[in-house]
Structure formats: C-alpha cells, structure tokens
Amino acid sequence: MIQKSLSTIFIAIYVALLLGVLLTGTIDRSDYKTQNYYLETISKLESLEPEISEGSTWLVGWSKINATPNEPANLVGYAPRGNYDFVLDSSYVRTLVVGNGVRNVAILSYELLIIHPYLADRIKQRIQKENLPIDFTYFTATHTHSGIGGYIPGLMGKIAFGGYDDEIVKMLEQKTIQGLQEALATQDSSFINYHISETDTLVYNRFIKGDPVDPFIRQLTFQKKNGERAAFFSFSAHPTVLSTKFMGLSGDYPHYLMEKLEDKIYDFAMFAAGTVGSQGPARSGNQVEDVYKYAEAVFQQSIKNVKYLKPVKKNKVGFFELPTKLREPQYRLGENMRLNPSLFKSSFGESKAHFDAVLIGNVLLISSSGEVSGTFMAEWESLAKIRGLNLIVTTFNGGYVGYITPDELYDQKFHEVREMNWYGPYNGSYFIELVNGLIEKNW
C-alpha cells in the first residue's frame, strides 16, 4: 500500500515537472542588440525610405459617425465586467482625411481600448474593396477603459477583452467606410496650424512619484476656406478617470474633451492617445462628475497655456510602415519565469507589431503598437526639433504588444512592467532607438 502511494506521488511529481518544462521557461535577458529580431528590424529601418509627395494646397475633410451598438456589448478595460448596463455617452468613429492633391492620408480614431490587428486588417481590406482614394491609413484610439468589446478574436480576447462578435466588427467596418466616404466628399482647401499647450498637474507618473511625465497637448488644427474648423490632438494621460466598477458605456474624459472643443471652438475634434505608458490622469475622483471636471480642466489649460503655435506651410505628405520584430513573448509568471511562447501566441494571437509614420508638412506623426512610456517623449521631441520637425507620438495603430517602459523598471513590481510588458527586457531602449531612427529618416 505504501509502495503504491509512493508510486502515485512520484508519478504526480513527474507529470508536474514535465508540465513545468513544457508550459514555462526562463526569462531571456540576453543583449537585444545581438539578436536576429533587432538586426532584422534595424536593417529594415535603414533601407526604408518615406514615400513623399508635394502638392499645391492642403485638402482636408472629416466626419463623425455614431458607432454605438444597438444592443449592450461587453465592456473592455480593467477586468472583465460583462455587458454595459447603460449608455453614458455614445461611441463614435472619427475620420480625418488630409491630402495635398497628390496623396491622401486617412487618420482613424475609435472610442475603443485598442485597435486589434484583426479589426485593422478588416478595415484595410474594405478600403481596398471600395476602391477609396486613400494612400495610407493611420489608426489610433482614445484608449477608453469603458468602451465596447467584441472585436478581439482568440482565447484571451474571450477571457479578458470582450470576446468576439462579428456583428460588432461588421458595424465598425461599415461605420469606418461611411466616415471615409463623408470625409472624402467634404475635402476642401485648408490652412493647417501646429501648436502645443502645457497642462499643469494634470498628469502623474503611475510608477514613481516625481518621475518624468509628458504634460503637453499637441495639436494639428485645420480651417477650410468656408470657415469650418477641426482639431486633431494627442494627450498622454490614461483615460482611467472612471471607476473600475463603472458599468456604463463611456469614452471617459477624451469623449467630453472632444465635445467641449466641438461646442466652444471647432466643428470637429479627434483625440489620439499619446505616450500613455506610465502616465495617469491626476483627477479628483472616479465618478462621472469627476470625468466632467477633468475634461474641463484639460480644455481650459489647452486654450490658456499655449506654448507654441506655427502654420504648417509646405504641402508635403509622406508615409511608411516599419514592421517591427520582437524577441519571443516573455509573459511573466515569476521573477525569472515566463509562459511558454507558443502558449502565449495561441492565447493572444499575433501582435503584428509595427510603427506607422506620417509627415504632414513639417509635422511628423508616429504611431506605435506598444503603449510607450511618456518618459521617452522629451528625448524624441528634442531630436525632432533638431531635424526641423514637430512631433506627435500616438499609440494603438492596429498592432498591440503591451507596455513599453523604461528598462530599469523591468524587475519592479508594477502591473505595467510585470503583467503587461509582454516581450521582455530592454524594449524601452529598443523602442527609443527605433523612434529615433524614424525621426532621422529623410523627411
């Protein structure tokens, strides 16, 4: 009897050890600059050149399309919460088409947590099918943590990201095409300005008190010859004003900031999440009234604290995409233990990591698949200024790779660098180098 029990124990231990070997591994801490993924991406970066055209005038059009589901959908953000109980504010797809008579770039912003690669691919395919005169598509999102799900396939999508509902994907696809058609139909000659405003105590570093933040609102503003005005703007405070237990559909503070701008100044406003990694909103509470207050504070400081305002003169449009290789997934299970990369891929799907870069005059827009930290922005902006460029960095470009944070924080016990830093150490330095390289291209 004892011998049989010992045999059972040994078998259980053997199975547990075998599963441990099959399901886990150790964190890869090798120098990223020696790895093939780095060498391949740097080689690609060096060989790629922007496709640049120069026209005679700016042509700009925009649209705002309601994309609120007819029936309640799963909320995406924080932990799984199920279907929303009510609609606090409608969800919109906003479209901006900027051209110079030679090329058209479409900027698409959604009141969603992220833009999943599957959704982005569906929309790109539909644009081609409809034969729309769009030469490059630049995706972004507001990153609301109280937006709809239903557009993320796969196991992890089902468990944590609102699952998959083809009707929602079809709806977002159709609303996007409708928005593009309206924006193209309303294109008119325009003036473009670039300006920066600084916020005071509205952004905090979510990791270490007193560490760097990116407090600036960066804007492109447009005025058609008929007097209609629009704004594309980016800000880095995470849209996490609302409580994690909030059960309504809402765009959080970006929605109300856009509404405020449209009510007071512009005919159309579009928000793009900036360098949101490690950047939080310094709000007074987490209730609906606190969302209104925070949006009002950002609005007031955006118009009162303007630090820079210049016209965008040269009618140059340029763009390219940089596919970005990463090391094998490093989803952490402990201090030096990771989930088996193949299991991560089967659960999360392909990341389709890449950077998008778009030039509008002397304003360079760069969009990342990773939630890059706001601590990097000052270095990038300084380099851009040396190159004669004004810089806007956004996120959620139709790929998703989790958080990209400073390397020195990798072994700290912060949620963003433990559970959400999916591709291992040194990605902070890696992404800094890649964005520097994008800025230094022949624009």
Range name among 8-17, 380-389, 412-421 with the lowest pLDDT average = 8-17
Residue located via tokens 């080689």: 43
Residue closest to 242 by CA, chosen among 89, 116, 395, 371: 89
Q: Exposed (0-12), middle (13-18) or buried (19+): which is 305, by Cβ within 10 Å?
A: middle
Tell me which long-range contacts 282-288 makes (C-beta under 8 A, separation of at least 24).
Answer: 282/201, 282/202, 282/203, 282/204, 282/237, 283/241, 283/253, 286/241, 286/242, 286/243, 286/246, 287/242, 287/243, 288/88, 288/242, 288/250
Hunting for tokens 């925070």 — which residue is that?
294
Cβ proximity of 317 and 102 under 8 Å: yes
Tell me the H-state helices in 134-251: 155-160, 166-185
Inform me whether the pLDDT recorded for 3 exceeds 70: no
Closest CA to 351 of 34, 120, 30, 28: 120
Q: Are 84 and 71 in contact (CB under 8 A)?
A: no
User: In angstroms, what CA-CA distances link 295 with 77, 95, 140, 256, 332?
Assistant: 19, 21, 20, 6, 36
For the stretch 29-65, pLDDT in tens is: 999 999 999 999 999 999 999 999 999 999 999 999 9
pLDDT of amino acid 313:
87
- Residue 339 CB: number of other CB atoms within 10 A? 18
Question: Can you give the three-state secondary structure of 281-300, one letter per residue?
Answer: ECCCCCCHHHHHHHHHHHHH
- What whole-number distance in Å separates Cα of residue 48 and Cα of residue 37? 17
**335: burial class by Cβ within 10 Å (0-12, 13-18, 19+)?**
exposed
Please give the DSSP secondary-structure letter assigned to residue 425: T
The pair of three-digit structure tokens given for residue 420, joined into one six-digit string: 């959400």
pLDDT digits over 70-108, tens only? 999 999 998 889 999 999 999 999 999 999 999 999 999
Q: Above 80 in pLDDT, residue 191?
A: yes
% of the chain beyond a pLDDT of 70: 95
Judge whether 60 and 190 are in contact, CB under 8 Å: yes
Could you give the CA distance from residue 354 to residue 349 in angstroms, rounded to a whole number? 15
